[in-house]
Structure 1
Amino acid sequence: MVNAIRTTFLLAVLTGLFMAIGFVIGGRGGMMLALLMALMMNMFSFWNSDKIVLRMQNAKAISFQQSPDLHEMVARLSQNAGIPSPQIYLIESDQPNAFATGRNPENAAVAVSTGLIKRLSYDEIEGVVAHELAHIRSRDTLTMTITATLAGAISMLAQFGLFFGARNSNSPIGPIGSILMVIVAPIAALLVQMAVSRVREYEADRDGAEITGNPEALARALDKIANHAKQISNVYARRSPGMAHMYIINPLAGKRGDNWFSTHPNVKNRVAALMEMAKEQQLSQNESWPRSRHNAAQQTGHAQSAPRSAGWRVPKTARDQRDNNDTSKGPWG
C-alpha cells in the first residue's frame, strides 16, 4: 500500500513537471495544452505499451513448438502467481536479460534474451521469469511504461522550450528562468523515473522469490546477469535507452557513464535482501513443506536444476531458420 501511494505521488510529480514546462513556454494556455498532451500520451501508452516496447527491443514471439520447456515453465509459474500465462518473446541478444510489458495481466508479455537461456541454469531462469511475472501481477509494467513515456515527453518538450520559451521575453518566469526550467526539468524527470523503478524492483524481487520458493536462485541470476551486462552490449537497449529501466538488470551497464543515473537498485543490495530471505526460508523449512519442487529435490539430494540446465537450449529464430534449412534437429537446435 505504501509503495502504491509512493508510485502515484511520483507519477503526479512527472505530470506536474510536464505542465510546468508547458507554462514556461506558453503560460496557462501552454500548461493546459501540456496536460492534454500528457493525457493523450498516457492513453496511447495504455493501449499500445506492449507492442511499442517489444518492437523497439526487436522481440519475436515464440511458439510452444519452438520452446516447450520455456512455455511449461511460464505456465507453471503463472499458476503459482495467480495470473494468466503471458505471451513469451525472444530477444536475439547475447547479453542475459529479460523484461515484462503489457497494460494488465490479461494482456501481458515476458521477453527473455537468447543469452539468458544460454548462460543461466534452469532454476535461475525460473527466478528471472518469476520476477517478471511479479511485475505483471502488480501492474508495474503499465506504471513503468507510463513513467518512461512521461519522462521522454518532458525531455522532448524541454528541448522545444529551449528554442521558443527561452527566447520569449514574455515568458512568465523570464528568459533566464525558462532556460533553468528546461535544463532542470529533464533531470528531475529522470530522478523520478529512477525512484519509481527502484521501488518496484525490490518488491518484484521479493514477490518473485515467493512465487518460486527459491530466493537463492534469483540472487544467483541477478549476480550473473549484472556481471555479463558489464561485458556484453545489448544493441536494442542502446537504441532505445529510455526503455532500459524495464529490464531486470540495467542493460546499459557496460559503458562509462551509464551508471551515473541508473534506474536499477544496486545489485549487491538486491542479492543481500534475497539471501536474507533465503535464510529465513531455510529456518522455516523444517516445519513446512518447501513450495518449490527444486528446493524439495535439493533437500533429498536429487536436484533437477543441473540436468535440466545441461539440456536447456535456445529456441531457433527466423534468422537461424534462414541460415540452416535442416529441421531434423527439431526446434531447439
Structure 2
Amino acid sequence: MFKRIALFLATNLAVLALLSIVMAVLQGVFGVSFAGNSGLLLFAALFGFGGAFISLALSKWSAKRATGAQVITEPRTEVERWLVETVRRQAEMAGIGMPEVAIYDAPEINAFATGMNRNNALVAVSTGLLRSMSRDEAEAVMAHEVSHVANGDMVTMALIQGVLNTFVIFLARIVGRVIDSALSGNRDGGPSFFYFIIVLVLDMIFGLFASMIAMWFSRHREFRADAGAAQLAGRHKMIAALERLAQNHGQSTLPNQIQAFGISGAVSHGMKRLLMSHPPLAERIAALKNAPLDTDAVRQGVIS
C-alpha cells in the first residue's frame, strides 16, 4: 500500500517537474507565452492530449512488452491457424483491417485489444483462455475484442482521457492560485513554495474524479463490445463466454495501462466500484439476454 502511494506521489512530482521545465523552455527559447488563463489552458491541452495520444501511439508496442505477447506471423499449430482465421473473418465482417493476433502467457482467462486505429490493431489472448474455454467461447471473446477495435474504443478513450487530463491540469493550477493567494494574504507576488504542494494535492484529487468519469465511459463501451460480439459470433456464444468468465473469475494480471481493454476486469466493491473499468459480469450477461439485437447492425455501422 505504502509503495503504491509513494509511486503515485513520485509520478505526480515528476509530472509537475516536467511541466515546469517544458514551460520554461517554451517561454525562454521559443518565446511562447502562457500568461493568463487562456495560455494556461493551451498549455494544459498540449500536455493533456499529447500524453494521451503518445500513450495510444505506443499502445501496441507497450502491450507486447508488458505481457510478453508473441504475434503469430506464421501459424505453427492448428490452434494458431484457427485463431488467425477467426479474427480475419470477424475483422472482415466488422469492416476493419486485419489486426495482429498474439498469444501471451497468463493463467487467467483473458484477452485484450489495443492499437492506434481500426486498421492497425492488436488482438491478444491468454494461454489460460485457450486452455479453459471451448472454441465457441473463445470465438466470442475474440469477437468482443474485434468489436472494441471496430467501435474505435481505443481512440475514443484517448480523446476522453485527453479532455480529462486538460481540465485536471488547468483546474488544479487555477484553484491552486486562489488557495495560495488566500493563504499568503492576497499578495501580488509570484506563487509561494506551498503553491506547488497545493497543486500536487489538487492534481491527485481532481485526477481521482477524472478517473471515475473515464471508467464510467469504459464500462459503457464494454456493453457495446458485448453486443458487437453477439452480432459477430452469436448471442449464445457471448453469453456462454461471459458465464465461463464468471465461473473462473479472479483478479486480472494485465498491466494497468491495458487492463481496461481486457475482456475480464478486476472485481471491486463499494466506492471502488466507481473505478472499475468493466461492469460486473452478471450485469453484462443480463444486458445481453434482455437486449434485442438487430441482425443488420454490423452492416449499418452499429458497432463501427
Specify the TM-score bucket, using the shorter chain as the normaliser.
0.5 to 0.7
Matched with 2:145 is 132
What is the correspondence of 1:28-47 to structure 2 with a 5 Å cutoff?
Answer: 28=37, 29-47=39-57
Matched with 2:203 is 182
What is the correspondence of 1:1-333 to structure 2 with a 5 Å cutoff?
Answer: 28=37, 29-66=39-76, 67-145=80-158, 147=160, 169=184, 178=199, 181-212=202-233, 214-230=234-250, 233-235=251-253, 237=254, 240-250=255-265, 252-253=266-267, 259=273, 261-277=275-291
**SS at structure 2 position matched to 1:246:** coil
**SS at structure 1 position matched to 2:248:** helix
Task: Provide closer, same or farther for how the CA distance between residues 181 and 257 of structure 1 changes in structure 2, counting only shifts above 3 A.
Answer: closer
TM-score (norm 1): 0.62
Query: Partners of 2:205 and 2:49 in 1: how far apart?
Result: 22
Alpha-carbon displacement from aligned partner over 1:218-243 (angstroms, at most 9, x marks no partner): 1121222244232xx544x2xx3243
Alpha-carbon displacement from aligned partner over 1:198-256 (angstroms, at most 9, x marks no partner): 221111111110112x21211121222244232xx544x2xx32432111220x33899
Segments of structure 1 that go 5 or more residues without pairing to the other structure are 1-17, 286-333
Query: Partners of 2:62 and 2:165 in 1: how far apart?
Result: 14
How much has 1:150 moved relative to structure 2?
7.1
Query: Partners of 2:116 and 2:110 in 1: how far apart?
Result: 21
Task: Provide closer, same or farther for how the CA distance between residues 79 and 56 of structure 1 changes in structure 2, counting only shifts above 3 A.
Answer: same
Q: Do the aligned partners of 2:44 and 2:166 also contact (CA within 8 Å) in 1?
A: no
Task: Provide closer, same or farther for how the CA distance between residues 244 and 226 of structure 1 changes in structure 2, counting only shifts above 3 A.
Answer: farther
Query: Partners of 1:77 and 1:96 in 2: how far apart?
Result: 20
Query: Partners of 1:47 and 1:78 in 2: how far apart?
Result: 21
Query: Partners of 1:99 and 1:269 in 2: how far apart?
Result: 20
Aligned length: 248
How much has 1:185 moved relative to structure 2?
0.5
**SS at structure 1 position matched to 2:122:** strand
Query: Partners of 2:281 and 2:43 in 1: how far apart?
Result: 40
TM-score (norm 2): 0.67
Query: Partners of 1:122 and 1:246 in 2: how far apart?
Result: 21
Alpha-carbon displacement from aligned partner over 1:62-97 (angstroms, at most 9, x marks no partner): 234231111111112222222222110112101011
Task: Provide closer, same or farther for how the CA distance between residues 87 and 224 of structure 1 changes in structure 2, counting only shifts above 3 A.
Answer: same
Q: Do the aligned partners of 1:95 and 1:116 also contact (CA within 8 Å) in 2?
A: yes
Task: Provide closer, same or farther for how the CA distance between residues 257 and 89 of structure 1 changes in structure 2, counting only shifts above 3 A.
Answer: farther
Q: Do the aligned partners of 1:101 and 1:142 also contact (CA within 8 Å) in 2?
A: no
**SS at structure 1 position matched to 2:275:** coil
How much has 1:101 moved relative to structure 2?
0.8
Q: Do the aligned partners of 1:148 and 1:242 also contact (CA within 8 Å) in 2?
A: no
Query: Partners of 2:209 and 2:223 in 1: how far apart?
Result: 22
Task: Provide closer, same or farther for how the CA distance between residues 130 and 265 of structure 1 changes in structure 2, counting only shifts above 3 A.
Answer: same
How much has 1:171 moved relative to structure 2?
5.6
Matched with 1:300 is none
**SS at structure 2 position matched to 1:111:** strand
Task: Provide closer, same or farther for how the CA distance between residues 93 and 27 of structure 1 changes in structure 2, counting only shifts above 3 A.
Answer: farther
**SS at structure 1 position matched to 2:131:** helix
Query: Partners of 1:73 and 1:87 in 2: how far apart?
Result: 12
